[in-house]
Structure 1
Amino acid sequence: MQPQDPPPYSGSLLVAHPGLHDPNFRKTIILISAHDEEDGSLGVIINRPTGQTLGELNDDYTFGPLAHVPVYEGGPVQKDQVLLVAWHWIPESAAFRVYFGVSEDKVQSLMAEQPGIEVRAFLGYSGWSEGQLETERKQNAWLVVPISGHLMEGLDGPAMWREILASTSPELIFLADAPDDPTRN
């Protein structure tokens, strides 16, 4: 299966192909925030929850408005850095708005102004150098999926990956359901 021309990478989701076995990206979905042919790409893994909140991760947030923000593994780069990201789907205009790498003050302001906004904290991020993502795409490591509201709601972890994969590329679902070790089948 050859990849077709992808939609623009920025503001899209990268869905890991079931054959991608790199432990950093196996069964992941990455929200791409920025992509430039010369500078590369930047994003965060959105389906690897750590099971913690900011308040549990850092005492500085224990009693503040960000205490209950869930923490996710954002990627293999700078895992000691916390990156705040917020987004919301605007159904009336079929638009998706992302606030990537915003300050604590900005997140608090967004939470007050837009009560339904999704806010997440990410430990680290995912990045690709010039041409690297395009090369991986040609090797069928990733599917590029435009964002729509229903794709970002209700699921998390591997279930989210499987659901988006099934809705994007139903022919790949048999690979998604295959055991990691086929000898155990």
Structure 2
Amino acid sequence: MARRARDNELPDSFRIAARAAGGRIDEFGPGYLGGQLLVAMPSMQDPRFTQSVICLCAHSADGAMGIMLNKPLDNLSFEDLLRQLEVEPVPPQRQIRLLAGGPVEGGRGFVLHTTDWSSEGSLQVTGDLALTASVDILKAIAGGGGPRQGLLALGYAGWGPGQLENEIQRNAWLNVPTDEGLLFGGPPDGMWRQALAKLHIDPLLLSGTAGHA
């Protein structure tokens, strides 16, 4: 699902990881972080990820794919997107938060949501969290249904084989378990500090701390 993408069209890294996990991202072996939150360290060199929090939706030996959670889209509303996709009803009966999900394929959309709603194209990230790229979920939300909680991201963050592991070894990221209240509850501009607080870390005191499993 994107502004004009085909239903259920997913990035190659997403499909590879899904096959490797048999449709479940939380079944990877030790060392893989599917379903975890990545929290950027203050020493992050890439300005695109400064103070970012990313839900890692897929992680395997073939690479990783995640959705950035705290970069709001200020120039596009949910209603505008529905009009572009010709999805009814407009105005929608429910709203959903729009985010810039990452620097890769910014015209493609993904809904990260609770698992009380799913479709054939949904991929289970954890027992409580799924990712859907079908326009069907937007139709459900616009009509007042759909998942209990969700957010819509345009674009995603992607890593090649071993790339994320190398970044973690260079202390670019911390990781923390997902939390529904953190994902869907608070304002995006406070998410980075809230994620660090789950690790009992004061960002003012951070140095070259290694990642947490």
Short-chain TM bin:
0.7 to 0.9
Whole-angstrom CA distance in 2 between matches of 1:102 and 1:35: 18
Please tell me whether residue 87 in structure 1 is matched to residue 117 in structure 2.
no
Q: 2:41 matched to which residue of 1? A: 17
Shift of the 169–133 alpha-carbon distance from structure 1 to 2, 3 Å rule, reads: farther
Aligned residue among 57, 66, 74 for 1:43: 66
Q: Which runs of 4+ in 1 moved over 6 A?
A: none
Shift of the 21–161 alpha-carbon distance from structure 1 to 2, 3 Å rule, reads: same
The Cα RMSD (Å) is 2.8
Shift of residue 48, structure 1, vs aligned partner: 1.0
Whole-angstrom CA distance in 2 between matches of 1:156 and 1:58: 23
Secondary structure class of the residue paired with 1:50: coil
Q: 1:56 matched to which residue of 2? A: 80
Deviations 1:48-87 (A, max 9, x none): 1113432123522461647722210000000111222212
Q: 2:175 matched to which residue of 1? A: 144
Letter of the aligned partner of 1:81 in structure 2? Answer: R
- The count of residues paired between Structure 1 and Structure 2 equals 162
Contact preservation (8 Å) 1:96, 1:149: no
Contact preservation (8 Å) 1:53, 1:69: no
Q: 1:99 matched to which residue of 2? A: 130
Contact preservation (8 Å) 2:150, 2:184: no
Whole-angstrom CA distance in 1 between matches of 2:160 and 2:99: 23
Whole-angstrom CA distance in 1 between matches of 2:199 and 2:145: 34
Letter of the aligned partner of 2:204 in structure 1? Answer: F
The runs of 5 or more residues in structure 2 that have no matched partner are: 1-29, 117-125, 207-213
Letter of the aligned partner of 1:70 in structure 2? Answer: R
The sequence identity of aligned pairs, in percent, is: 31
Aligned residue among 102, 105, 110 for 1:78: 105
Letter of the aligned partner of 1:87 in structure 2? Answer: T
Contact preservation (8 Å) 1:84, 1:104: no
Deviations 1:87-133 (A, max 9, x none): 269xxxxx75222133232455587365xx22221110000000000
Shift of the 164–109 alpha-carbon distance from structure 1 to 2, 3 Å rule, reads: same
Q: 2:192 matched to which residue of 1? A: 161
Secondary structure class of the residue paired with 2:167: helix
Deviations 1:129-185 (A, max 9, x none): 000000000000000111133433432333110111133141x42157xxxxxxxxx
The runs of 5 or more residues in structure 1 that have no matched partner are: 1-5, 90-94, 177-185
Using the size of structure 2 for normalisation, the TM-score is 0.65
